[in-house]
Structure 1
Amino acid sequence: MSAKLIHIESPSFEDVYLQFHRLIYHIAYKLTKDACLSEDIVQETFLKAYRKWDTLIDFRKIQSWLSSIANRTAIDFIRKESKRKEDLVDDQETYDSPFIVSSTRMVESEIDFHFLEEEIEEGIGMLPAPQQEVLRLKAIQGLSDKEIAQKLNLNPATVKTRYHRARKQLTLLMKKSA
């Protein structure tokens, strides 16, 4: 299936699975670094999506909807796995508290960072196109105002203004979503 589902008003669940199962696997694997656990997360994600299929209103947002379900499911699996490992360590009375606590915090921090990245990317997508372009070139690609001005055939002052406005608007969007 090569066509994007976002152009279909009401795709079948099977078509959605065929198009997005690899993406969901990659999201899960990025968070867990475990192939078997990632496969379980894919199954659980699509099971949850199937149960809530009738609540999806805008099929153009299906990718972000599934990604969100996958992220939350992966976090749940990681927490369960972490809890299970803590219980095993407790049972063996070789509990190394600082290690378990720090590794759990690292996983949670990585997950929080991943969610933040997604929220920022979503927020950038809501900005006007000229602001998006300047923000991506400066913040993501690391270009200077002068380089951006040359690339976009703009005055450097215009680049600074667009960047400032984009950051301000993105901050407001992030506060609203929090």
Structure 2
Amino acid sequence: MTEGNGAEPAANTAAAGQVKMQVLGQFVRDLSFENAVAQRGLQGTDVQPDTQVAVSLDARKRSGDHQFEVITKFRVTSKNKATNETLFMVELDYGGIFHVEGVPEDQMHPFLLIECPRMLFPYVRRIISDVTRDGGFPPLNIDTVDFLALYRAELARRMEEQKTAQPVS
């Protein structure tokens, strides 16, 4: 028995151990663009941009069955290498509501913080590109983020933090 799209019914898919993920919605929670050049004026013409991108992630269970909210937070800062003056700054909190079934409980945390942000990333990239272009700069197409490496780095940081917080006996 299949649904209209040829897929197995949801109950059978989850029971068979297959992962089912559906994006129920996406949204901009917060967006800020600061054009420092326009505010103070550009001195000289020697601009060598140095752009830094910081990423953080958050996920939480929602009240609906199998529903989760994942927020990706991007902070992009571009400075002039020659003067270290800020050219622009973008802060974007972009979220998604996901329906996730078939993921074992012990794997849900990494799934939410790796796979879900991968689904959201192309939209984040587009928003940042559009905002920088509309702000008077060349469109910034940020590099693909390795969410697995980011997750592993955060785990390592937390483990190191726990080691230093434990009293030595």
Question: What's the TM-score once normalised by structure 2's chain length?
Answer: 0.37
**Counting strand residues as a fraction of each chain, which structure ranks higher?**
2
